[in-house]
Structure 1
Amino acid sequence: MRFDGTDSYVATDDLTMAVNAAVTLERPLLVKGEPGTGKTELARQVAQALDVPMIEWSIKSTTKAQQGLYEYDAVSRLRDSQLGDERVNDVSNYIRKGKLWQAFEADERVVLLIDEVDKADIEFPNDLLQELDRMEFHVYETGETIRARHRPIVIITSNNEKELPDAFLRRCFFHYIRFPEPETLRQIVEVHHPGIKQELLTTALTQFYEVRETPGLKKKPSTSEVLDWLKLLLAEDMDPADLQRDGASALPKLHGALLKNEQDVHLFERLAFMARRQGR
């Protein structure tokens, strides 16, 4: 099984190498990068390219590792026992399978996405070490051991909001998705907006990179945001001349697609004010 990218996902050589290395080593692939750089989409594209199903486990701040294995619904069992329901005689009726269990019992190899692992408690990654390493876990309520029929391709994403434990990192193959260079970003845009006029694209990307590189910016716009911005420019039928910023404002046209907080909007307003003062 080899990943070489897809028609709808531009994967750099180092990214495809990382995916294939993780598959060969049978290690989870830990992918970090700025939000919006395509980490989650990578898992979907790997599943599509390898023609295997994908199981997605989206992590929240309240998510516990045990939920990925299974949950025992003791409350429902107690209620049913009070009602005289015969289902209470079989504890397996109250076991809810988690995403890891679903991946382990699948009839074929699957891609298991553990999305935004850094959102959970710091102990979350450590609590999954043994299960991801041995590809098995024990169900105490029923006494059975669940083993993976086919070792899943595990892709774990992180936005780098908190440090992950060393023991967890040691078991992963790591890749950081760098923000794409202009030429790579052009290829990505062509996939999503085929046939876009090159003059408009050149002007827009030049302005986009100027925005990203502005000192003091709290949140740099991402790949997904520049794609949204270009979609709006095309919908409004703008040409390169329309993107020129006047002296009254340093904000790009339709800046709401790129700038996502008031501090960054105020930053560009201050830059325009300072430029006007210096021009007097």
Structure 2
Amino acid sequence: MTFVSTQSYVATKDLTVAVNAAVTLQRPLLVKGEPGTGKTELARQVAASLGMDLIEWHVKSTTKAQQGLYEYDAVSRLRDSQLGEARVHDVSNYIRRGKLWQAFTAPQRVVLLIDEVDKADIEFPNDLLQELDRMEFHVYETAETVRALHRPVVIITSNNEKELPDAFLRRCFFHYIRFPDPETLRAIVSLHFPGIKEALLTTALTQFYEIRETPGLKKKPSTSEVLDWLKLLLAEDLAPEDLRRDAKSALPRLHGALLKTEQDVQLFERLAFMARGNR
């Protein structure tokens, strides 16, 4: 089984090579890239392409590695013991299985997504090294060892908010998703809006890349944002000539889909003011 582009996802050649290399090596695939370039969606499409179920573990700033294995609910057990519940004598009733446990014990091989690993504490990746290496972990409360029935395809995403430990990086196959070039972005748009007129698409993408390349922009619009923008353009039934920017502010039509900070909106207003002053 090899990963290829799907009907709803355009995978570049280097991305497909990275995914298939990680699957062959049986190592986690660490995917980095700016937000909105399809890192999380990649895991869903890999699962669809390979015919596997997907288990998603979305990491937060408060997430601990132990939660991916299991959690022991001592409070519930104490409450049940006070109430005289019979189930209190079986500690397994108070073990909550985490996403790794679910992936390890799945009857068929699955894709395990560990999403935005860099959101958690710096020790989070290191705390998972042994489990991802050996594909097993020990449950101390029940004295059992959970071993993977089938080694999952592990995809880990990062927005580069913090550096990841070298020991963790060494165990991963790494790929950086670059922002798509115009040809690739055109193919992505065609998947989502197959009936879009060529003239509108060309004008919109030209303007979009001009916006992305504007010096001083705090947050560059991403792939997901250009898709939102195009959806609005089509809903408004706008023509290419309707996309001419406002001379007073140089802002694009429906700019709220592309520009997400007041600093960036003010930047285009200043650029328009300077352009009028130089005339």
TM-score, scaled relative to structure 1: 0.99
5 Å-filtered alignment, 1:14-29, equals 14-29=14-29
- Percent sequence identity is 84
Q: Which residue of 1 aligns with 2:244?
A: 244
Match of 1:71 in 2: 71
Deviations along 1:62-96, whole A, 9 cap, x unmatched? 00000000000000000000000011100000000
2:190 matched residue in structure 1: 190
Residue 246 of structure 1: how far off its partner (Å) = 3.3
Aligned to 1:214: 214
Unpaired runs of at least 5, structure 2: none
How big is the shift at 1:160? 0.5
What is the distance in 1 between the residues matched to 2:245 and 2:48? 42
Measured against aligned partners, the alpha-carbon deviations of 1:171-230 in whole angstroms (never above 9, x if no partner) come to: 000000000000000000000000210110000000000000000000000000000000
Distance in 2 (alpha carbons) for counterparts of 1:94 and 1:184: 49
Measure, in 2, the Cα distance between the counterparts of 1:207 and 1:174.
32
- Superposed displacement of residue 4, structure 1: 1.1
Mapping 1:1-280, distance limit 5 Å: 1-279=1-279
Q: Distance in 2 between matches of 1:66 and 1:5?
A: 34
Q: C-alpha distance in 2, partners of 1:277/1:179?
A: 34
How much does 1:100 deviate?
Answer: 0.1
Distance in 2 (alpha carbons) for counterparts of 1:23 and 1:152: 9
Q: Secondary structure at the match of 2:174?
A: strand
CA distance in structure 2 between the aligned counterparts of 1:145 and 1:165, rounded to whole angstroms? 27
Shift of the alpha carbon at 1:7?
1.2
The answer to whether the Cα contact below 8 Å between 2:246 and 2:252 also exists between their aligned partners in 1 is: no
String of CA shifts for 1:6-31, please: whole Å, max 9, x gaps.
Answer: 11100000000000000000000000
Q: Which whole-Å CA distance do the structure 2 matches of 1:72 and 1:227 have between them?
A: 43
Contact 2:2 2:50 (C-alpha < 8 Å) held by counterparts: yes
CA distance in 2, matches of 1:36, 1:160: 13
Secondary structure, aligned partner of 1:102: helix
Query: C-alpha separation between the residues in 1 aligned to 2:246 and 2:269?
Result: 12
Per-residue deviation, residues 83-113 of structure 1 (Å, max 9, x unmatched): 0001110000000000000000000000000
The farther-off stretch of 71-80 and 245-254 is 245-254
Q: Counterpart of 2:57 in 1: which secondary structure? A: strand
Residue type at the aligned position of 1:49: S
Q: Distance in 2 between matches of 1:107 and 1:124?
A: 27
Q: Deviations over 1:47-75 (max 9, x none)?
A: 00111100000000000000000000000
> For the residues of structure 2 that align with 1:218 and 1:88, how far apart are their CA atoms?
55
Instruction: Tell me how many residue pairs correspond in the alignment.
Output: 279
Cα distance in 1 for residues equivalent to 2:139 and 2:18: 33
Is there any run of 5+ residues in structure 1 with no aligned partner, and where?
A: none
Aligned AA (2:139): V
Residue 62 of structure 1: SS of its match in structure 2? coil
Measure how far apart 1:247 and its partner are: 1.9
* Residue identity in the other structure for 1:107: P
CA-to-partner distance for each residue in 1:211-263, whole Å, 9 max, x for gaps? 00000000000000000000000000001100011321210000000000100
SS of equivalent to 1:156: strand
> CA–CA distance in 2 between the matches of 1:111 and 1:81?
39
**RMSD value over aligned CA atoms?**
0.5
